[in-house]
Each structure stands twice: as C-alpha cells, then as structure tokens.
Chains A and B, each alone.
Chain A
C-alpha cells in the first residue's frame, strides 16, 4: 500500500496542478472574450463620441465630414424595420401556430421543419441575391424600402418561427385540454388561451429577430440600398438607405474623419440594439414572475 502511495503521490500533485491550470485557463479565456467586448466598446466610443450630437442626427450625409449626419439613414432604418415587422411577425407567428397546434406528424410537415432549420443557416447575402432577383427585378419594386423589407422578412422568418414555436410549446397541455373540454374549437383554443399565454415568449423572440434585422447589412447592399440618399422616404416605394449601410459606406472610405463618423453611427446603432435587448430581457423576467402555471 505504502509502495503504491509513493508511486502515486508525485503524480497526484501533478494531476492536481494540471486541473488547477486548466480551470484558470478556461476562466481566463472566458474573461478574455468579455474583455474584448469592453475593448470594442471603448474603441468605438473614443472614436465616435465627439461626433454624436443633434446636428449629427438631423443632417443628411455629405462630402464634408463636419456637415454629415445620419438623418436619412435613421429614417430609412425606421421605415425598414416597421415594414419588416408588419410583414414578418404575422407570417412567422402563423407558421409557428400551424406547426405546433395544427400540423399532424406527416411527411410534408417534417419536411417543412427541416427546411426551416436549414434556412436559418443560409448566409444573409444569399437572401440579398434572392431579393435582388425577385423583389427588385421580377416584382419591379426597384431599390425601394418595400423590396428591402420583403427581403429582410424572408431572412428573419426562420428566427421568428423557431422562437414562437418554442414559446407555444411551453404552454402546458392542461390549458388546451380545459378549452377543448368546454367545447372550444382548435382555433378558439389557440386564439383565446394558447397565444395569450405564449405572448411574452413570442414577443421576446420577435424583438431579438428585429434587432438582428436592424444590424443586417449584406442583403441591403445586394438590393442596392447603397446609394447617396439625401431625403427621408415618404412611402414604401421610395429609395432609402439604412444605418448599417451608412456605417459601411463611411468605414470603407480612407479618410480618418469618415471613420470617426462611422463610429458615431455605430454608437447610435448599438444604443438602439441595447435598448431592444433590454426590453426583451425585461419582458422575459416579468413573464417569468407572472407565470400562472
């Protein structure tokens, strides 16, 4: 026994040291990722903070950095997101309701499910190519807000469907059984009981999908939103630019001042995104507290 111990002891010390090292390594790498976020935020703030003021928010883009602003980009993004929400939320929630509440286990339905999972992995630039060919050219919508919103809707539809399905699935069966037991039809059950209970979860998913849409750039570049736009869109068929596109435009110029303008745009974009994420977290926490089951 003691012979065994002697044999083991130095080894044990080494094994313990390895375990300790490994633990510190894992923790260190995690906090390194967190530190990177801090570096990114500090860098952007230092570059762009001096540029964000009322004049920046209320001016059109310009050749002169001092006079340039994000008015058209900001309004373009608001238009784009409003239309995208109008199109994609009803469509996504309807598809989720069908798949969770109405669909039987059939071949078509499992095909639809696999298809949605694969669509979620398609690069956003491919959606841009689709939007260019179908909405811009075939439907002849041109480089309009509507074409952009339709493209964006297709892009975030899988996200909305998957989040909504999860929220609907979390509603306990007993609620549906109770509704059926007093004679409600399937749709009545869904409308009056399942959807209201699933609403916070659906809403969280929808907000996260919208915040993805706000930051997406590649599909909009594809459908040609990257032009000099010095006006605010007044209808869904007007040309537009959007915040991430304006940022891309400024960042791809060689001059230092335009890089700082890009940083200013990024600050505005991140503030909007942070606000949306905070709203999503708030809704999630409130609904968790209020959950009735």
Chain B
C-alpha cells in the first residue's frame, strides 16, 4: 500500500491530545439523507466519538435533524466555523463538493471520512490525498459495503483459490428509481458529477479493485444525452493470479436487474446478492448443490451489525493508532480514476425506443 495517506510521522500536537482525551470530537458536514439515515445514528451510538456540530447551508435541514436526533448539538451554516472545534469530520456533501471542502479540513490536520465516491475525477482525488499527507490527517472513504463480512469472505475465498482458476465475473445492480436526495444534487452533472455509475456503481468499482486488483476498461456504454446516465454497461479486464479475467458491470436506475455479483471459476460459481452481507452462495461445478458459506466467526441467524458504525469506528481507530483506515483515500483515488476512464471512453447505448420515432415530431413543432 502506498504511503500517500500515511500519518505516522506527521501527527500534530492537537491530534495527540485528541487521541489521549478519549472520544474524538467529530462533526458532520452535509445533512442530507445519508446523514439522517446512517451517519448521524452511527455517531450517536458510538462511545468512540463526541458529536460537536452539524454543518449544512440549509437552516431548515439543520433544524430538522437537530430536533429529531440531537437538540443540544450546535448547527453551522458555514463549515469553516468547525475548523477549530473538531478533530474529524464526516463529509456527506454532494459529490462535487468533496474535493474543495475536504481539502480545507485535511490540510488543517482534521481527518475526513468522505462519503463515496471520493470524487469522479482522478485529479480531485489526488488533491485530497495530498492534503491529507500535508496535514497529517486521515482520509477514509465511505465504501461501506467493504465492511460486509461477505466482501471479506469473497476476498478470502478468491485469495485461497477456492474456485480454482477464475474464468469471469459479472455484477448487476438495477432499481426502478434511485436515491431521494434532500438537496436534489443528483439531478445534474454539475453537482452529481456522474449518474448511475458514480452513485450506485462506485461501491462495486471499489469492491472490484479490492477483489481482483487493478483492471483495464475495455468498453463503457451509457445512455447519457448530455446529462447523467441512468443505465450503463462496462467491460473490464483484470489480471488475477497471472491469468486474464474478463468482467462486466450492468447498472440501471430505470429498472430492476438481477442485483448480484457472480464469479465463475473452474470449481464452481460464487454469487453474492445485493444486501447479502453475511454469507456467499456457492454452486459447485457439475452438481445441483447450493451451499451457503459463512465466515467461521458468524453464526447463521446473527443479527446484522451497523456497518456505518463499524466504518466510523475503523476511521477513529486509524486516527488514534496512526494507521491506515480499511478504505483509504489512496484506494478511493483508484476507483475515482477508473470511473474517470469509463466516462472518458463512453459510447452511446443503443435505445431504439427513444430514437426511432423522433423524425415524426419535427412536423408537430411550430415553424421557426
């Protein structure tokens, strides 16, 4: 792992004090839906952190979250007011603000847990990693599915050759509709910086790099017409265990897909359904059997953990121990670079139902 995000030699006096003091002083910048549904409950449930502020430009959003969760926590409409009050922040802003705002915190020695994706541009991610290095702060990226036992188990099974030689992988995720955002940032390229690939697909791009190592983009097709793609298909080529491994990703925000990862190897097929966080499913070659595989540490039927809290506490651990978080800025940079390459190579997805009848409408328009 690169040392871009290493903090061992540059721990500030302020951080040393923070580490010794006990609970870390933390704030959330950006009070949208993910904060309300995940980050705020995780912070309030964890003894490792002390929530000292909520930041958002919307007064009504601040008021609403404070009333619901934490009436005594002060709200800030300008994130700069938090600079001297916190050791760390959870950055849950629209994607286009990750780099400019995150950099401001990191270079001041304030650690950042940045919502995914770190950015959709390599350059911005490099800027964030550099700011973390110069400020001696931790940069973690909120790819929460990496904390699923099923992700770690899949990685382990691949690394130990459970499937034999790998032949292919494919991942699909599609829903009729997307994420309801409080700010509406997901409506335009300027604020979202990407469509279904950036919003839904970035989780898997990160997991793909984690599972198979570096990959090349072979082809990327999407249905963007100058806006945000709602559907896309990507072909990749990885090199795993010295062999070429082709893979595909299909994503949709207009319709449901099979919503699972499938890895085909010579000894069988592994599938991990979306949301299947504790186990993986194995179909041995030449057999009708289907086996659920759990990590030894998990007893089937065990209730789900709060993965956002695990992610948060891993972030705190990295700050206190001056070590790497589970998903570092450097890893976030890799998936950002991959996303950027996909968009740079985008070809138009064929949509005859959209274009075939377009000729007829000219006659229905007013004479110019």
Task: Verify that A and B bind, or say they do not.
Answer: no
Interface residue ranges, A against B (CB under 8 Å): none
